[in-house]
């Protein structure tokens, strides 16, 4: 219905212009009618012809440069829509389009308020191609039609325009560009913050999984090595494991990085003491946190000295690391 009104308005204004000369309202109304009559294509032919790699690269650049949904033919939404046609199963593309939809909705509503129907229809086409079932689409479509009809009626009633109309159009264009730029900047900042938070959460989850896997591997290694060492320990050696008499047990060096973080921890060591009282073998059984104090603990116990014994003894010792300790 609104297309018929706009075309009729354009014909009436053209007839009026023959006797009164061209006016800003007549030109704007004719352009609006032509834009409304011509089907709006969401993705330009040039963008659709690009390869998947080109589209992915162009989409990333558009996000960095805050071209989320404008200008036409050179914005992130068009690139991702074209890329989705080529790679429909790519979850990153679907996620990016989902993230961009709310900002396109806001921009569409703003363009309707400015009575910039060509832009509102272009943005509507982007949203419709992104998700044809989006709840906001019927309301937007109806609002665009109602506003176009209201503008057409107003323009038909006001056939005499002054030079202020041209100035108003210039100011409207400046306002549109300024609002669009500000909206895109704000949207890009929100999107970047959202993506950074997601990346940080994924990084933390990966670190937690890695730490858990390391602890599990250490526990399995300790469990696997325990049976192999048990037979080498005689009954007399096992009985004397708790009776080792230490002659020299120098404290380990506190790692500089841990000191800077004011970090504490402990390392449980398994050591084998030879008959001459020296430590002949040492290994880390468990450490909390992993791989922070292990090296210094190993270096320290290898320097320990005990009183001579009758047979080698294998035992465990826990070394604590405390800031300032």
Distance (Å, rounded) from C-alpha 50 to C-alpha 53? 8
DSSP class of 308: -
pLDDT at 224: 62
Higher pLDDT, 240 or 125: 125
Express each pLDDT in 72-118 by its tens digit.
999 999 999 999 999 999 999 999 999 999 999 999 999 999 999 99
Q: How confident is the model at residue 302 (pLDDT cuts 50, 70, 90)?
A: very high
Q: Who contacts 33 (Cβ-Cβ below 8 Å, separation ≥6)? A: 3, 6, 7, 9, 10
Q: Taking the model in full, what pTM does it have?
A: 0.43
pLDDT at 217: 81
Are 267 and 321 in contact by the 8 Å Cβ rule? The answer is yes
What are the CB-based long-range contacts (under 8 Å, 24+) for 272-277? Answer: 272/312, 272/313, 272/314, 273/244, 273/306, 273/309, 273/312, 273/313, 273/314, 273/315, 274/312, 275/308, 275/309, 275/310, 275/311, 275/312, 276/308, 277/247, 277/305, 277/306, 277/307, 277/308, 277/309
In the chain, % of residues over pLDDT 90: 66
Q: What is the DSSP string of 194-226?
A: HHHHHHHHHHHHHHHHHHHHHHHHHHHHHHHHH
Distance (Å, rounded) from C-alpha 307 to C-alpha 275? 9
Are 61 and 34 in contact by the 8 Å Cβ rule? The answer is no
- Give mean pLDDT, residues 175-185: 92
Asked if pLDDT for residue 320 goes beyond 60, the answer is yes
Are 296 and 275 in contact by the 8 Å Cβ rule? The answer is no
Q: Give the range with max mean pLDDT: 22-26, 194-198, 216-220, 241-245.
A: 194-198
pLDDT mean across residues, the chain:
83
Token duo for residue 123: 């943005």
- Give mean pLDDT, residues 39-64: 95
Asked if pLDDT for residue 57 goes beyond 60, the answer is yes
Q: How confident is the model at residue 38 (pLDDT cuts 50, 70, 90)?
A: low
- Give mean pLDDT, residues 267-284: 96
pLDDT at 6: 30
pLDDT at 223: 58
pLDDT at 292: 93
Distance (Å, rounded) from C-alpha 98 to C-alpha 41? 20
- Of 94, 136, 96, 141, nearest to 117 (Cα)? 141
Higher pLDDT, 234 or 95: 95
- Give mean pLDDT, residues 190-211: 88
Q: Helix (H, G, I), strand (E, B), or coil: what is residue 85?
A: helix
- List of domains in the chain: 2-204 (no CATH), 232-321 (3.30.2420.10)
Tally of CB atoms within 10 A around 42 = 20
Distance (Å, rounded) from C-alpha 5 to C-alpha 117? 14
């Amino acid at each position: 219905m609104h297309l018929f009104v706009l075309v009729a308005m354009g014909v009436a204004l053209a007839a009026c212009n023959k006797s009164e000369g061209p006016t800003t309202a007549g030109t704007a109304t004719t352009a609006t009618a032509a834009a409304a009559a011509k089907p709006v294509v969401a993705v330009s032919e040039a963008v659709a012809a690009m390869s998947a790699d080109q589209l992915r690269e162009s989409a990333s650049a558009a996000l960095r440069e805050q071209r989320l949904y404008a200008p036409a033919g050179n914005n992130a939404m068009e690139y991702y829509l074209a890329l989705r046609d080529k790679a429909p199963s790519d979850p990153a593309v679907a996620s990016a389009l989902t993230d961009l939809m709310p900002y396109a909705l806001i921009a569409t509503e703003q363009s309707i308020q400015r009575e910039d129907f060509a832009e509102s229809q272009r943005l509507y086409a982007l949203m419709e191609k992104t998700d044809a079932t989006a709840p906001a689409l019927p309301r937007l479509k109806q609002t665009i039609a109602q506003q176009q009809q209201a503008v057409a009626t107003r323009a038909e009633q006001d056939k005499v325009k002054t030079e202020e109309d041209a100035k108003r159009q210039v100011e409207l264009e400046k306002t549109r560009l300024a609002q669009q730029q500000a909206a895109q900047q704000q949207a890009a900042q929100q999107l970047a913050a959202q993506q950074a938070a997601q990346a940080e959460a994924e990084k933390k989850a990966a670190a937690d999984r890695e730490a858990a896997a390391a602890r599990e591997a250490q526990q399995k290694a300790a469990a696997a090595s325990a049976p192999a060492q048990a037979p080498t320990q005689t009954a007399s050696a096992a009985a004397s494991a708790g009776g080792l008499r230490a002659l020299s047990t120098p404290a380990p060096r506190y790692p500089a990085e841990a000191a800077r973080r004011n970090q504490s921890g402990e390392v449980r060591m398994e050591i084998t003491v030879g008959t001459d009282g020296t430590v002949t073998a040492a290994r880390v059984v468990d450490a909390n946190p992993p791989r922070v104090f292990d090296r210094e603990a190993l270096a320290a116990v290898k320097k320990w000295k005990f009183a001579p014994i009758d047979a080698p003894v294998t035992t465990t010792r826990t070394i604590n690391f405390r800031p300032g300790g």
